Chain A
Amino acid sequence: MNSRSRRILGALVVIVALGLLPSILNETDLRNFARFLVLVLAVLGVNVAVGAGGIVSLGHSVFVGVGAFAFVSLCEDLGVPILLALPFAALISGLVGVVLGFPSLRVRNSQYALVSFGYAIAFPPFARWCRTITGGPTGRTLERTIWVPDWLPLSDIEVRYSVAMLTVFACGLLATNYLSGRWGRSAKAQRDDALAAATFGVPISRSRSGVLGLSAGLSGMAGALSILLFPYANISEYTVMMSLRLYASAVIGGLGSAVGSLWGVMSLWLLPMLGRLIGLGGGADLIFGLSVLLLSYSQVDGIVGLVREMRRRMTSGRNG
């Protein structure tokens, strides 16, 4: 079996498994699982920008927020059906990503990190100002329900979870294909050496804008999906801390690979537990920060890098 058909088979298995989940899990577990997957998508957005594009962005809470509010606004103010509003919200978020990412074409990466940090800080006041869209301090509620055909034996809430899970899966496929394809290669080339990449004909600006747009679109889709699952959007969620947590999970999971985002979000759950086991109080954020700190001392590229290293050692041991 070649790798292409194996990949298609794998995708089918995952889709069937995800489709069966609502009938196996109870509502709480389903909710938590869907929340987990949506978070993975948000981290994947960061991962694409930082890992593939080399553009350190601390502003991804903005894109999650834009996706969420765009989704609510499209559904409630313009009456767009939910399934159509989802891609449009992601598209809007992606465009915002391209526009806000414009400084990254001109300034150095460490400086763009500052600028994007500024985006994350300035977003809540700005969103409070746009109260027709964001609802100001009271937030917005998604009241529109999803259209379920009569023959489907699923409740409204189960359909929502299925839509969310399938969308996350589709976005994950999109991102991995992007990363391993032509555009991903040119993004990585400009990340490693912009001058050399330009000499080989990589359009630097377009490549960087594309990476940021995709990354913001993925995170925006995560924002929209989280509203689909929990139909309430409030400014106070999209804070600097959210950005920092997303960034930390991307780094802990391992930059530059889609699986890394999965690991990163898992560590979002596991690390605080681990911290409690060894008696380290002080909350999840501290453990997160310490993990990133430890990683920055080593040459290891997150959990993915750790796994890769272990696998390499094991195979080399077997051969020699």
Chain B
Amino acid sequence: MTLLLQRILDGLFNGSIYAALAVALAISHRATGRINLAQGEIGLVGAFVALALASPVGAFVAGSTLFAHLPGHPFSLRLATVVAVAVAAVFGAGLQAFVMRDFADLNPQRALNRSIALLICVSALSSGWWGGRARQFGELFPSSSRDYIGIFGARLRYTTIGAWVIVLLVCGIVHLFLTSTRTGLAFRALTAHRESAELSGIQPRRLMALGWAISGALAATAAALAASMSLIDTSLMFRTLIYGLAAVTLGGFDSLKGAVFGGIIVAQAQTLLPGYAGLPSEMSIVGALIVLILVLITRPWGLFGHRPVERV
């Protein structure tokens, strides 16, 4: 019983990563109506920027010499992560504004090519700068062996609490922005019906860039959390992206709440299934894939999404 509880609590940490990435995917999908395959890689660039900001020049992290002129470098990892999240937001907005301007208007095949091309480019950039060996990212939250809260004998670690506080805070801000500001309203109008929104005077370009900025920030948060759990290398977000995609598909692309719940469910499946089915933990990625396929086949609009109505 304690073991089950412990596994559930352990899975919660991964859940926060997948939830953040899933919300990022959902927001960028809302902005352009298309899936951004490079979402994870944009976040990864953010995490590497954080690493560069927090590493001394001697650590041979690309970019750390660039930031060395800033007063106070190397920064603390937390400050560096906050800055890097902002950098990833600007990066995402820039990509959308300059490279993916017509992403929403392309035909599906061309849009997919564009998305794949962006994935290859961003991934090649981060491999070129930070490729090679995996690196230590560091801890974002107190994580010594005593930093936990006991719940019926199981340990809820501070890292898990911290990660969830951050993710829920960011998601809450995004939710508030979408529901109670004028720009958020315009964004939702754009999502609901592009043409009508444009006809009523909404400028899609700015809003699309804004959507990609938000999702870039969320993806960088996810990447930093994922990196703090293990090592950071250039393939980190490929693995995470599959869980994120499974989560957002499960929750439904048009629902933030769904994306968060999807993240929790996928992460629980990831920890519980190998634990009880006797499979090695690496095989859990196959589990995520099966979830993705099953949801796409049986309920492509997800658990919380709205069933699309097609007019013939």
Interface residues of A (CB under 8 A from B): 54, 56, 58, 103, 106-111, 113-115, 117-119, 121-122, 125-126, 128-129, 239-241, 244, 247-248, 251, 281-283, 285-286, 288-290, 292-293, 295-296
Contacts and interface: CB of A to CB of B under 8 A. Distances in A.
Please name the 8 residue pairs, one residue from A and one from B, whose CB atoms are nearest each other, closest first.
A289-B120, A289-B121, A285-B124, A292-B117, A125-B282, A286-B124, A293-B117, A296-B114
Contact of A119 (B120, B245, B289): B289
Nearest to A299: B110
B112 A110 contact: yes
A115 B127 contact: no
Contacts of A248: 116-117, 120
Nearest to B287: A122
Interface stretch (B85-93, B186-194, B291-299): B291-299
A125 B119 CA distance: 22
B121 A118 contact: no
Contacts of A282: 124-125, 128
Contacts of B127: 283, 285
A299 to B, nearest CB: 9
Given A115-B289, A118-B289, A282-B125, 7 more contacts: A103-B296, A107-B296, A114-B35, A125-B282, A281-B128, A288-B120, A296-B113
8 contacts: A58-B116, A109-B108, A122-B289, A125-B282, A240-B235, A290-B117, A292-B120, A296-B110
- What secondary structure prevails in chain B residues at the interface with A? helix
Contacts of B4: none
A289 B117 contact: yes
Given A103-B297, A115-B292, A118-B292, A126 B283 contact: yes
B119 A118 contact: no
- What secondary structure prevails in chain A residues at the interface with B? helix
Nearest to A243: B116
A114 B123 contact: no
A57 to B, nearest CB: 11
B280 interface: yes
Nearest to B101: A297
B238 interface: yes
Interface in B229-246: 235, 238-239, 241-242, 245
A244 B300 contact: no
A107 B300 contact: yes
A288 B239 CA distance: 22
A295 B110 CA distance: 9
Contact of A121 (B35, B118, B125, B242): B242
B113 to A, nearest CB: 4
A292 B110 CA distance: 10
B165 interface: no
B121 A117 contact: no
B173 interface: no
Given A244-B116, A282-B124, A283-B128, A293 B282 contact: no
B282 A289 contact: no
A106 B294 CA distance: 11
Given A56-B109, A121-B242, A283-B128, A293 B293 contact: no
A275 to B, nearest CB: 11
A2 B129 CA distance: 56
B52 to A, nearest CB: 17
A71 B161 CA distance: 49
B178 interface: no
Interface string B224-260: 0000000000010011011001000100000000000
A125 B285 contact: yes
Interface in B91-149: 99, 106, 108-114, 116-125, 127-128
B286 interface: yes
A240 B283 contact: no
A296 B117 contact: yes
Contacts of A106: 296-297
Given A114-B292, A122-B242, A296-B106, A285 B286 contact: no
A286 B112 contact: no
B34 interface: yes
B163 interface: no
A241 to B, nearest CB: 8
B50 interface: no
A128 B121 contact: no
Contacts of A296: 106, 110, 113-114, 117
B37 interface: yes
A209 B238 CA distance: 27
A121 B292 contact: no
Contacts of A109: 108-109, 112
A285 B120 contact: yes
B282 A129 contact: yes
Contacts of B279: 129
Given A56-B109, A118-B289, A121-B242, A286 B128 contact: yes
A295 B113 CA distance: 9
Most chain B beta carbons < 10 A, residue from A121, A129, A286, A292:
A121
Given A106-B297, A113-B112, A292-B113, A286 B125 contact: yes
Contacts of B114: 293, 296
A111 to B, nearest CB: 5
B292 A56 contact: no
A244 B94 CA distance: 23
A106 B73 CA distance: 53
Most chain B beta carbons < 10 A, residue from A58, A295, A296:
A296
Contacts of A107: 296-297, 300
Contact of B109 (A54, A117, A240, A289): A54
B189 to A, nearest CB: 24
A210 to B, nearest CB: 20
A110 B108 contact: yes
